[in-house]
Amino acid sequence: MSTKLFTFKGGVHPPTNKTLTQNVPIENAVDPKVVVIPLSQHIGAPCDPLVAVGDTVKVGQKIGESKAFMSVPVHSSVSGTVKKIEQHYVPNGSKVNCIVIESDGNFEVYESVQPKGNIEDLTKEEILSIIKEGGMAGMGGATFPTHIKLSPPKDKPIDVLLVNGAECEPYLTADHRIMLEKPELVLLGVKAIMKALGVDKCFIGIEKNKPDAIEIIQKAVEGQEGIEVAPLEIKYPQGDEKRIINAITGRIVPSGGLPMEVGCVVENVGTVATIGNIFKTGMPLIQRVVTVSGSAVQNPKNLYVRIGTSYKDVIEQCGGYKEEPGKLISGGPMMGFAQFTDEVSVIKGTSGILAFSKKEADLGEPSNCIMCGRCLEACPVHLQPYKISRYSIQKNFDAADEFHAADCIECGGCSYICPSKRPLKETISVAKKEILARRRKVK
């Protein structure tokens, strides 16, 4: 292992608060009595239901699918009876069609769920189809359909796979625990993806605050040609796709471009391990590791939760609320979504559930920008957040565009660091949305 640490320019160092759960082994969540499984848990076309009210289903059975290319199927996480198909809120704040299944408590596995055999014996196409049929979408939170990421156009040759084990969001330890407890699944997933992409180089980037994970993954990949661990500096947002590419390979993804333009594909380590699990057991993505933490949670834990379980049930298993929460977050504190209810379902992208006390939820009142320049230094894209934010507030979106508001990755570093507590990312996001909407119109 080289002692060199990889990193990028910019970024912030929020308190990681990971000690709450980093040494807590993954625990199976209590079996849910009812699951509410959204038919859209990914970016792209929502699925159509394949089952009707009254049907019985089994664990791993496909219950939703779309004909669109930009979509992934969803599967049942329990065995039981379909009770309803109706609209529910999902953690990103939208309302989507969901299949409500009452569990019979038996967890009978669907017949077609079978190990997929050796990766060496499978073709590229077979691997991609298994990944798609497994319901894979990016589990770091972005939920981009995995098979699409792994099928770049012919004119964009990929030469390196980057596995993101940075887990730079504070509080979250799900990926950390996966690396510690399931290194063989990570390796299996890596091999599958490398074969699908036809690449012979893979770096697994891990922040150096997880020395145990670095060691275990290093051991797991020992002797595997082309697979290497890349220790990363501890910095947020080290796990952002373009930052991790820049840190490890030195390549710069052009503004508005995708990683494939510089020959890279980045997959989150949780996604990779789940892919490994699909090949090993045949079980599609119906369960995921979720970090449940925050100042208002009684016993913070890492839980292996069935998709469709309600946040409320998950928090109850962690001893419930320690005090009345002021904020409930789906994902990490830097980029996660605040929820207005705990009656939403865990979905494929739910990396964490955080409950903050009223005190922790209070972010203070914004005051004048004092031009301290901290937001510029924090911005991993090297934007001028204070300026773009000002233009956005003035609704001068042309000026915001001129200063590359659309390149903002919404990491929140600027808002985090601002001593005047200005809502920088929040206002820049507004400008970004507006600018992208206009561009679409022009096209």
Partner 1 sequence: MENKLIASSSPHIRSNETTQGLMLDVIIAMLPALVASVFYFGFNSVVLVVASVISAVITEYICNKLMKKSVSIGDLSAVVTGILLAFNIPASAPWWLPVMGSVFAIAIVKQIFGGIGFNIVNPALAGRAFLMSSWSTHMTGGFIDPVTDAVSAATPLTLIKGGSTGQLPSIFDMLLGNIPGCIGETSAILIILGGLYLIYRGTIKWIIPVFYIGTVAVLALIFDGGSMALYHLFGGGLMLGAFFMATDYATSPITDKGKIIYAVGAGALTILIRKIGGYPEGVSYSILLMNVITPLINKYVTPNVFGVAGGKNEK
Q: Which is nearer to partner 1, 5 or 376 (CB)?
A: 376
Q: Which is nearer to partner 1, 65 or 240 (CB)?
A: 240
Q: Which is nearer to partner 1, 30 or 381 (CB)?
A: 381
Partner interacting with residue 364 (select from ligand SF4, partner 1, none; CB below 5-8 Å by kind): partner 1
Q: Which is nearer to ligand SF4, 27 or 410 (CB)?
A: 410
Confirm if 265 and 162 have CB atoms less than 8 A apart. yes
Q: Which is nearer to ligand SF4, 22 or 238 (CB)?
A: 238
Q: Which is nearer to partner 1, 131 or 418 (CB)?
A: 418
Q: Which is nearer to ligand SF4, 106 or 394 (CB)?
A: 394
Partner interacting with residue 69 (select from ligand SF4, partner 1, none; CB below 5-8 Å by kind): none
- Give the Cα separation of 294 and 283 in Å (integer): 31
- Give the Cα separation of 133 and 274 in Å (integer): 13
The number of C-alpha atoms within 13 Å of 129 and in the hemisphere containing its C-beta is: 6
392's enclosing H/E stretch is helix 385-393
Residues 29, 148, 289, 414: which binds ligand SF4 (CB under 6 A)?
414
- Give the Cα separation of 315 and 351 in Å (integer): 14
Q: Which is nearer to ligand SF4, 303 or 428 (CB)?
A: 428
Residue 1 touching ligand SF4 (CB under 6 A): no
Partner interacting with residue 85 (select from partner 1, ligand SF4, none; CB below 5-8 Å by kind): none
Q: What residues does 62 pair with on adjacent strands?
A: 75
Amino acid at 438: R
Residue 135's SS3 state is coil
Residue 408 touching ligand SF4 (CB under 6 A): yes
Give me the sign of the Cα torsion angle 104, 105, 108, 113: positive
- Rounded to the nearest 10°, the torsion over CA 13, 15, 21, 26 is -20
Give me the sign of the Cα torsion angle 128, 133, 134, 140: positive
Site for ligand SF4 in 336-395 (CB under 6 A): 369-375, 378-381, 383, 385-386
Partner interacting with residue 408 (select from ligand SF4, partner 1, none; CB below 5-8 Å by kind): ligand SF4
Interface residues with partner 1 (CB under 8 A) are 12, 14, 170, 242, 246, 249-257, 262-263, 324-329, 333-342, 354, 356, 360-361, 363-364, 367-374, 376, 379-384, 386, 404, 407, 410, 412-413, 415-421, 423, 425-426, 429
What is the distance in angstroms between the CA of the first residue and the CA of the last residue of the chain? 48
Partner interacting with residue 326 (select from partner 1, ligand SF4, none; CB below 5-8 Å by kind): partner 1
Q: What residues does 287 pair with on adjacent strands?
A: 306
Partner interacting with residue 422 (select from partner 1, ligand SF4, none; CB below 5-8 Å by kind): ligand SF4
Outline where 141-207 has alpha helix (H): 146-149, 174-181, 183-197
Place of tokens 């990944």: 131
- Candidates 185, 186, 72, 188; CA nearest to 138 is 72
Partner interacting with residue 384 (select from partner 1, ligand SF4, none; CB below 5-8 Å by kind): partner 1
Partner interacting with residue 123 (select from partner 1, ligand SF4, none; CB below 5-8 Å by kind): none
Name the maximum alpha-carbon separation found in the chain: 64
* Interface with ligand SF4 (CB under 6 A): 369-375, 378-381, 383, 385-386, 408-414, 417-420, 422, 424-425, 428
